[in-house]
Structure 1
Amino acid sequence: MENDISYDQALARIEEIVQSLEQDNKSIDELSAMVKEASHLIKSCKSRLKMTEEDILKAFEEDRE
């Protein structure tokens, strides 16, 4: 899933999950599945942000040389 979805799509899905959790009563099974999905999406977003940060830092380092 991590490679199949863009950062913006992942963020939008996380927002959908949060809204759904706030609005509806969920069974334990539904809640567990949604939390797992959100956790995976959050890790994916963090990873992409970290890679972007590293790319920016490398670009600035190359610019100084």
Structure 2
Amino acid sequence: MKNNKVFSYDKAMQRIEQIVEQLEGDDKSIDELADLVKEASSLVKDCKKKLKDTEGEISKAFEDEDKPE
């Protein structure tokens, strides 16, 4: 997640969908294709990290709930 900006999973997914649509078009140079694939790969990596982090937070929340006070 770059530039210390707040990561938006939904925005990343929208961008991935846009990239897929662009990749399906036939009018891209090899350089454009490479750049789009790199961007999509980075976004997918960030999304996977967000999902993993969220899963950990949820698990921790339930663990905290189960602990006796």
TM-score between the two structures when normalised by the length of structure 2: 0.85
Superposed CA RMSD: 1.3
- State the secondary structure of the residue aligned to 2:27: coil
Q: What SS does the aligned partner of 2:40 have?
A: helix
Structure having greater relative contact order (Cα 8 Å, sep ≥ 6):
1
The one-letter code of the counterpart of 1:57 is S
Q: Over residues 15-44 of structure 1, what are the superposed CA-to-partner deviations in whole Å (9 max), with x where a residue is unaligned? A: 000011112331110000000000000001
State how far apart, in whole Å, the 2-side matches of 1:24 and 1:60 are.
49
Give SS of 1:24's match. coil
- After TM superposition, the structure 1 = structure 2 runs for residues 1-65 of structure 1, keeping only pairs within 5 Å, are 2=2, 3-4=4-5, 5-65=7-67
In 2, Cα distance between equivalents of 1:33 and 1:58: 38
Deviations 1:5-64 (A, max 9, x none): 411111000000001111233111000000000000000101110000000000111111
Structure 1 length-normalised TM: 0.89
Structure 1 ranges of 4+ moved more than 4 A:
none
Between the two proteins, what is the percent identity of the paired residues? 58
The count of residues paired between Structure 1 and Structure 2 equals 65
Residue 24 of structure 1 aligns with an amino acid whose one-letter code is D
Listed as ranges, the gaps of 5+ residues in structure 2 are none
Which residue identity lines up with residue 19 of structure 1 in the other structure?
E
